[in-house]
Chains A and B, each alone.
Chain A
Amino acid sequence: MSWLKLFRGKQAEMPQTATAAKERLQIVLAHERIGRQGEDFLPKLQKEIVELVARHVSIDPGRVNISLERGGDLSTLAIAVELPGPEPVRRAS
């Protein structure tokens, strides 16, 4: 086999399958790594969202609900923040 190569041009347009390998790995691992950290990042996410929302509106931190549902092709992150009713009108001092 190898003597044939002498007659072939250098690197005669061979498909670079290694590039495909790298790209496929990056995609599949990006997906798998998210699934792996599932249990850990939710509490932190909830805390940070509560802090962020509380900066603008006063909310009850206990009335925030975050859920993550994983499906084969689609995962959904649902965030429900219950906002308090209209504030009582303040008396002028």
Chain B
Amino acid sequence: MAQVIVVTSGKGGVGKTTSSAAFATGLAQAGKKTVVIDFDVGLRNLDLIMGVERRVVFDIVNVITGEAKLSQALIRDKRVESLSILPASQTRDKDALTKEGVATIIEELSKEFDYILCDSPAGIEKGALLALYFADQAIVVTNPEVSSVRDSDRILGVLQSRSKRAEEKKEPVKEHLLVTRYDPVRVERGEMLKLDDIQEILRIPLLGVVPESESVLKASNTGNPVILDAESQAGQAYKDAVARFLGDDRPMRFTDSEKKGFLSRLFGGRAA
């Protein structure tokens, strides 16, 4: 039976799709058969971040309405074997996504894959609710910023009350905190919420910390999930997070500001 993981946050623009793409790629790199589904119907973007936008023929709504078979809509990744992408539709309205339709797709995917990642849209509307409904585990993506932390708390409440597991009074959805866009230098200056503070407020286990990094934008520019950039701190942080998810015990990195040398202090500059 596959594990269904929702990547969610409540707030938009915190890095859900970047994290979904990185995480799915990382799981596949670890040899797990992984599929990542874009639930953002009307505003699909996972295809761009994954660099498969020109290979989209059918999408999740086509599968739900029966216009295409699931196997026709799935896009196999060319970089990492055992990774597939199921794109969202770009034009249809959100009502095209139904609970029954999603249930059928997840059931069918469960036969073939180890992990089913659901990239949630922002908000707590239908698309977001459907993305988390079938989840066994949740990766809550949070920025060190008040509105993001508040929305994460809200979405945790939704996970605990409106997921399938909650409705059926089963073991609750396993929650993981993924802090992204963390800037240790600003934290040290007292300008940004500390990791400890975010954890203290949200009270869920920490899966990883991804530092603010220029490589994330570079990765999305070219459609390569940032985890494939092994040189970058963000890529390494995602690799660590995937390893932890799979049971490895790895210390957190990139959470303290490095002591800068004289030259870099003089000229500034940011982490790669």
Contacts and interface: CB of A to CB of B under 8 A. Distances in A.
Interface stretch (A21-29, A49-57, A67-75, A83-91): A21-29
A3 to B, nearest CB: 5
A44 interface: no
Given A14-B189, A17-B190, A22 B153 contact: no
A11 B189 contact: yes
B197 A22 contact: yes
B191 interface: yes
A25 B187 contact: no
Majority SS at the chain B contact face:
helix
Interface string B244-272: 00000000000000000000011110000
B201 A22 contact: yes
A16 to B, nearest CB: 4
Interface string B201-222: 1000000000000000000000
A28 B150 contact: yes
Given A5-B265, A6-B266, A22 B150 contact: no
Interface residues of B, number: 21
Contacts of A11: 189
B201 A18 contact: no
6 contacts: A21-B146, A21-B193, A25-B146, A26-B201, A29-B150, A36-B161
B157 A22 contact: no
Given A2-B268, A11-B189, A29-B153, 6 more contacts: A2-B267, A17-B190, A22-B193, A25-B193, A29-B201, A32-B153
A1 B191 contact: no
Interface string B125-159: 00000000000000000000110011001100100
A5 to B, nearest CB: 7
A36 B161 CA distance: 9
Given A22-B201, A25-B201, A16 B268 contact: no
B20 to A, nearest CB: 26
A19 interface: yes
A30 to B, nearest CB: 10
Contacts of A36: 157, 161
Contacts of B268: 1-2
Contact of B190 (A2, A5, A18, A33): A18
Contacts of A29: 150, 153, 201
Nearest to A26: B201
